[in-house]
Amino acid sequence: MLSNYLLFFSQPGDNVTIWCKHTSNTGKYIHWFKQKNGAVPLSIVYMMLPYELEVKATYLNGFQPDRLVMSLNSKNSSLRISNVEISDSGLYYCGWQNWVMTFGVGTQLDIKGNTFFSTSTISTRDCSENIFYKLTFIFGGIFFILIIILLTTLIIKRKDRNTQGKGNSEPHSSVYAALQFSKHKSRRAARNTEDTDFVYSATR
């Protein structure tokens, strides 16, 4: 497979012309080859570089002149493919033989159908939207749960503080009331004692 080649994209139904520069001499044959996925190259067509008269091309390996037309001049050769199909994808290059076979710069023809592109684009977009909605739903739920936990914790802490405040104030008031009651009772006891002593001394 050639290491140096051009890349050309097309769609089914297009007409494509591939060019190849050569250095062949007059009277020599120039060939066009097609190679696909690193397989053995197939000879498509060949033609002799004429002196003056026009020479017909010879087609090989089932390739037909109704869709593939070879043209040739002293410096360049072209291969025109009409109404290309996906099966026309492959590496095309020309070659000529002096003492050894010499190859020109190849062209990698890549035919992509409209259905392929539209299906790939839609599926990618739908997948991205589904992931976005799912992540939004998940993070929204987590955020809502965290807010509920925070509010619940604040309410519980506030109730605990109020309960502790009431518990601390009630014992003090009870002690104070007890002290007041004890003092009042002791005064009455003192008065009763004085009165009793007074009555006892009077009888005597």
Kindly report, residue by residue over 102-142, the tens digit of the pLDDT.
Answer: 888 899 999 987 543 333 333 445 556 667 777 887 888 89
Q: What is the pLDDT of residue 204?
A: 43
Q: 9 in a domain, yes or no? A: yes
How many domains would you assign to the chain? Answer: 1
pLDDT higher than 90, residue 69:
yes
Of 45 and 187, which is predicted with more confidence?
45
Statement: residue 81 has pLDDT above 60: yes
**Residue 111 and residue 26: Cα distance in Å, rounded?**
35
Return the H-helix or E-strand segment holding 119.
Answer: helix 114-203
As a whole number of angstroms, the distance between CA 72 and CA 53 comes to 12
* pTM score: 0.52
Position 173 scores a pLDDT of 46
In a domain, residue 143? The reply is no
Q: Given a cut of 80, is residue 12 above it in pLDDT?
A: yes
Instruction: Answer whether residue 171 shows pLDDT above 80.
Output: no
Q: Is residue 77 part of a domain?
A: yes
Query: What does the mean pLDDT of the chain come to?
Result: 76
Our CA angle for 112, 113, 115, nearest 5°, is 135
Better-scored residue on pLDDT, 49 or 171: 49
Does any domain span residue 157? no
Average confidence (pLDDT) over 146-174: 74
* In-domain check, residue 192: no
Residue 85 belongs to domain with CATH number: 2.60.40.10
- Model confidence at 16: pLDDT above 50: yes
The β-bridge partners of 50 are: none
- Does residue 190 form part of some domain? no
In a domain, 67, yes or no: yes
Asked whether residue 91 is domain-assigned, the answer is yes
The parent domain of residue 85 ranges over 5-112
Do residues 35 and 91 touch, judged by C-beta distance below 8 A?
A: yes
Residue 50 pLDDT grade (very low, low, confident, very high; cuts 50, 70, 90): confident
More confident residue, 98 or 94: 94
